[in-house]
Structures are given as C-alpha cells and as structure tokens.
Structure 1
Amino acid sequence: MPIDPKQKTKVYWKKNLQTLVVLLLIWFLVSFGCGILWVEELNSIQLGGFKLGFWFAQQGSIYVFVLLIFAYVYWMNRLDRKFDVDEE
C-alpha cells in the first residue's frame, strides 16, 4: 500500500524538526551550560594553559557549533535519501 504524499511530508518535517531540536539543545548546553552555568566546575580543569570554562566561553562553543553544522548536513542528507527528496 503506497504512502500518502501528505503523510510522508508530515513525517519528513517531524523528523527534520526533531533533528533541529536535538542539535540546538546540544548547542545550548555547550554554549550556555559550559560557558556560564558550569564554568566554576570546568575552571578546575586546564586546557592548553587556559581554564576549561573560559575556553568553552571563548572558543569551545564556536567549535561545537561548526561540528553541529556538519552533523546537521550529514543527518539531513540521510533523511533526504530515506524520504527520496535528495538532490542526486
């Protein structure tokens, strides 16, 4: 039995939004959590001569954000192939 195109679109966008929510939650935890909330605990650890909480606030959250962009591209390409909406 073929799947209704409207239902397929709803499922696709639901999965897309789930992916976005997970990635944004990770970004929030890293940038806000590690840079502000847990900075005192992280400052007891040194990374390259700098306190880890300071490092996350200044650079770490940017690195994680860039990695999350690549993760989003990878997961969305998989999702596009699964729902046959890829560009290839």
Structure 2
Amino acid sequence: MPANRRRRFVHAQLAWMLAAALVLALLESLSYELFFVVSLIGFLVVVELTEPIRITPTWRRRLRWLIPPALLVFGYIVVRRILEILPSGVL
C-alpha cells in the first residue's frame, strides 16, 4: 500500500511538471527559472493534497527536507527579478 501512495505522488508530480512545461512552451515563456517556480508550486500543492491523516511514512518525512532549500532558491529568483525591475538609482 505505501508503494502505491508513493507511486501516486510521483505520478502526480511528474504530471504537474510535464503540464507546466507544455503550457510554458505554448506560451513561449519557458525558462529554467519560471519552470522551477511553477514546479515548486506544484510540489507544495501535491505534498499538501496527498498528506496522510494518521501516520506519516518515512519517505514523506524526507520530502520536508527538500522544501527549505527549494524556498531559498525561490527567494533568490524573486530577489533577482525584483532587482532587474527596479531602476538603477533606487538601491
């Protein structure tokens, strides 16, 4: 049973990432940064929607270790984008 849930989680994440890549490609705005951000949002949504109620398996606890570094990368991307938008004399 746990293997089925793990497989379902992986399939949901892969489906989200493939759909994100397809939509970004169709909109002609596919970039590594944007794909990472959309995939991170999908990852967080899939983690929350597939979270068990009673017992947390070991593989789910390991997923929590991926979230802080991913959020740091997300923060870096946001700061870099904000600095690109701001005029040069502001900072």
- Decide which structure has greater strand share: 1
Structure with greater Cα Rg: 1
